[in-house]
A and B are shown apart, each in its own frame.
Chain A
Amino acid sequence: MTAFRVQDYPLKNYQPRGGGPTKAQSGGLRALLSRSPWTYRLIVLAIIGGIWQAYATAAQLLLVPKFTDTMIGVVTLAINPDTWVAFMISNQALVVGFGISVVFGVLLGLGAARFRSIEGFVDPYLSILMVTPMAALIPILMMALGLDLSSRVVLVIVFAIPVIIVNSRTGVRQVDPNLIEMATSFGATEREIWVKILLPGALPAIMTGIRLGLGRGVTGMVIIELLMVAVGIGNLILRYQGNFSADLLYAVVILVIFEALILVSILRFIERKVAPWASQTVLRD
């Protein structure tokens, strides 16, 4: 048996990547693309729109509207007061449910990080909430709470709160222990360590949790209206589906996506304002 030699195992696909002297920016497409992410985004949108348009035109299916028709639908709905009323109704559940989720989610997460007793109380339920397909809870909620606002609020909470709790708890846990030791050595009390070290240290993760929770809350808000309580946006979707108004149906979905995008951008903006030192925390649930 001959001895093993490292040289017998060369890297197969070794290629220089991104090193060396700065490459001169050629003009044209490359320069255009490097300028702004929006260029990419609009190009992708145009491609998707184009494929969609081509497919819908060729297939001629009743429930696949053309891209152009859908865009016209979006405008039609946006100027129709009924749409706004529907969005208001749906968003009642989101505002109340998401608000409660933020307040209690952050408190429970911080509490779980600090107190074993809260941790022990929260943990099993959190695990259940994380693994349960949430939609399965809807019939149970309906039976328990009826068809009014409260069941929609509870569903939004059930969707939104787990990720907020988990991120808040993890955020506190991952604060650099050196900082806690430093503060202690300068005579900080436990309260001061919370206020001056743990909370600011956990803030980026908490904000990320809130942002992820918002996305889930929107999902919860729409799902319950689709499956059980036909009001607001869910009602619109069901109505246009029943009418075979495919263009409007698609338009509603796009408006919901718009709303979610706007809300998430607002939260991102707040995130950058309150935690500018953490460009991105990559915590997920």
Chain B
Amino acid sequence: MIEISGVSKTFPARGKDAPVLALKDVDLRIEDGEFLTILGPSGCGKTTLLRMIAGLAEWDKGEITVNGTPVRGPGPDRAMVFQAFALMPWATVRDNTAFGLELRGVPKAQRRERADELLTLVGLKGFENRLPGQLSGGMQQRVGLARALAVDPEILLMDEPFGALDEQTRRLLQEELLLIWEKTRKTVIFITHSMEEAVLLGDRVALMSPRPGRILNITQVPLPRPRAAAVDQIEGSAEFAKITANLWGQLREMQTIRVHAGEEPAA
């Protein structure tokens, strides 16, 4: 279980820029085995919050605990999947996948076996010896996912993992992530910009708002599981439409920059 209580963070003023109150009094509880999606407009502090849970960033006030232990840095119970994939361009797909294991001193043969097992799981059998530069974006993120799963973490932290992918690839990977999650039941915190993605994947959707960044509310997603086999059905359902419409309504309210009607440039 992850508990975030009263966490605040201000990035100090730099040069002419005013200080940024990135997070203010964030409270959040994520149960074991839960799939939580965090939805919010750009700049509301989603990445900042996730990096704190990962033990990569510091906060000013409050506390974050994982299974009761205060977070003081990265730990073997958490693994991250990055928006920009973060694959080492000089290492093969297999070596990239095994990176977390290598850092733990797992012997080469076991590392290799485990990496290949996960590459098969994410559909990359046969690509073990390729370099990341030879793969498409979707395949690269599969490697990113396999690498995180390889260390068998309790918690997966995913920062817009499909944000850099095209729509078709993204849909495929959503289905596959659901499939994998339904098999493994890890705790997942998944950040996204997309209402549809948030609702399709999550048990709950935490909506964040900017300036200052905080959790505005949390929506329960009552859609039945398993969902992997029924994605089209779910996305066509009235329930799904209602939840996403509601989220969009709230997100639209947060936007401060709007096109002024009547002032659009002449064609």
Complex Cα gap A3–B267 (Å): 12
A181 at the B interface (CB under 8 A): yes
Determine which of A182, A184, A200 lies in contact with B90 in the assembled complex, contact meaning CB atoms within 8 Å. Answer: A200
Query: In the complex, which range does the number of interface residues on chain B fall in?
Result: 20 to 34
Complex Cα gap A185–B84 (Å): 15
Please state if A185 and B133 are interface contacts (CB–CB under 8 Å). Answer: no
Stretch at the interface among A144-152, A160-168, A186-194, A216-224: A186-194
Q: Which residues of B contact A185 (CB under 8 A)?
A: 54-56, 74, 78-80
A283 at the B interface (CB under 8 A): no
Given contacts A184-B74, A187-B103, contact A178 B90 (CB under 8 A): no
Q: Which residues of B contact A188 (CB under 8 A)?
A: 103
Q: Which residues of B contact A176 (CB under 8 A)?
A: 84, 86
The minimal Cβ–Cβ distance linking A96 to chain B, given in whole angstroms, is 32
Q: Which residues of A contact B82 (CB under 8 A)?
A: 178, 181-182
Complex Cα gap A185–B100 (Å): 9
Given contacts A178-B82, A179-B86, contact A186 B99 (CB under 8 A): yes
Please state if A186 and B90 are interface contacts (CB–CB under 8 Å). Answer: no
Q: Which residues of B contact A38 (CB under 8 A)?
A: none
| Closest A residue to B55 using CB positions | A185
Please state if A181 and B86 are interface contacts (CB–CB under 8 Å). Answer: yes
A9 at the B interface (CB under 8 A): no
Pick from A184, A186, A196, A197 the residue with the most CB of B within 10 Å: A186
Please state if B56 and A184 are interface contacts (CB–CB under 8 Å). Answer: yes
| Closest B residue to A193 using CB positions | B103
B89 at the A interface (CB under 8 A): yes
Footprint of A on B, CB under 8 Å?
54-56, 74-76, 78-80, 82, 84, 86, 88-91, 99-100, 102-104, 131, 133, 151, 266
25 contacts between A and B (CB under 8 A): A179-B86, A181-B56, A182-B82, A182-B86, A183-B103, A185-B74, A185-B80, A186-B99, A186-B100, A186-B151, A187-B74, A187-B76, A187-B100, A187-B104, A188-B103, A196-B88, A196-B99, A197-B88, A200-B88, A200-B90, A200-B91, A201-B88, A201-B90, A277-B89, A278-B89
